[in-house]
Chains A and B, each alone.
Chain A
Amino acid sequence: MTLAAPLWVPLAAGCLRLVGGYSVRNLGRARAEFDGIWRETDDPLMLCGNHLTLIDSFLIMWVLRSPWRLLTDPKSFAWNTPERTNFARSPLYSALTYFAKCIPITRGGRREDTGLVLDRVVHLLERGELALLFPEGGRSRSGRVDPAAAAWGVGRVIGALPNCRVLCIFLRGDAQQSWGRFPARGDTLTVEMSCIEPKSDYRGARRSRDLARQVTAQLAKMEEEYFDGRQ
């Protein structure tokens, strides 16, 4: 976390609450649940969420941790890998990601560069840091989790870490119809969490795809339960 964290973390949380007008159902329960999972063991823990808006990384951290907890336990502020062209598009995005714990990645970039980013994520998780990846590789254009759209990189990270736990986080606003830049102003968000330990008997690239698909399958299951609950 940067030295500017005490300034921007409460500011970002304030913006989500006051400017965005967002609220979260059972926020206290979600934070307590995450705290228990985070403290449970020293095994690597990676966060994987469904992805519908540009600010999902911020929303997830806001849901999991109060600003105070993020500042007093900076390891629990997750590293994330934003798409370089998204945040480079405007000075605002550049500033936000510069101050956050970001390892930019270029979707469709050179494979060596992608491999280096994934290696860095593995290294950080090994050191007890937290990392947040979106296993679909980008915002879901259908507005729903696509289990088959598992990005191989997530599986590669899981496969490189024995006993890697994956905290699947399903987050969606009541007014969210499809994908977009931001949730609707004043939206109420629902969050569900499920911690899994993906395993695979396959080898090589097939193993990575299998591990990644276990994560997207879990997210799709959580999404199905969410919509079932709303009917």
Chain B
Amino acid sequence: MEQSEVLERVVKILTPWAKNEEALAKVGMETSILDDLKVNSARLVDVIIAFEDDFDIEIADEDVDSVNSVGDAVNLILAKL
């Protein structure tokens, strides 16, 4: 799967949780999930589980520690596929 396709699906998954629509409109690999998109940190686990379901992968708790930006999420998913 191409990085661009994973990015597109990741952004689609993040959309319902993102409170900053302006940041969402110009989202990129460097965009911070919590700081820029304003996703509630307590809900990050729901996002991660949505990644698991959408991409049919399993993400360990420790893996979540490395996910700060959209690019981190994309790279983690690519590594799991």
Chain A interface residues toward B at CB < 8 A? 107-112, 114-115, 136-138, 149-152, 156, 159, 203-206, 208-209
Asked if A152 contacts B42 (CB within 8 A), the reply is yes
Interface residues contributed by chain B, number (CB under 8 Å): 21
Which B residues are in CB contact (< 8 Å) with A107?
41-42
With contacts A108-B35, A203-B58 taken as known, whether A137 is within 8 angstroms of B65 at the C-beta atoms is no
Decide if B45 touches A152 in the complex (CB within 8 Å).
yes
- When A149-B42, A152-B42 are in contact, do A205 and B64 touch as well, CB less than 8 Å? yes
Q: Are A112 and B52 in contact (CB under 8 A)?
A: no
> Is the CB–CB distance between B41 and A108 below 8 Å?
yes
How many contacts A-B (CB < 8 Å)?
57
User: At the interface, yes or no: B61 with Cβ under 8 Å from chain A?
Assistant: yes
Q: Closest Cβ of chain B: how far from A161's Cβ, in Å?
A: 13
Q: Do B61 and A204 touch across chains, with their CB atoms under 8 A apart?
A: yes
Cα A208 to Cα B60 with chains together (Å):
10
Most chain B CB neighbours (cut-off 10 Å) among A111, A112, A114, A138: A111
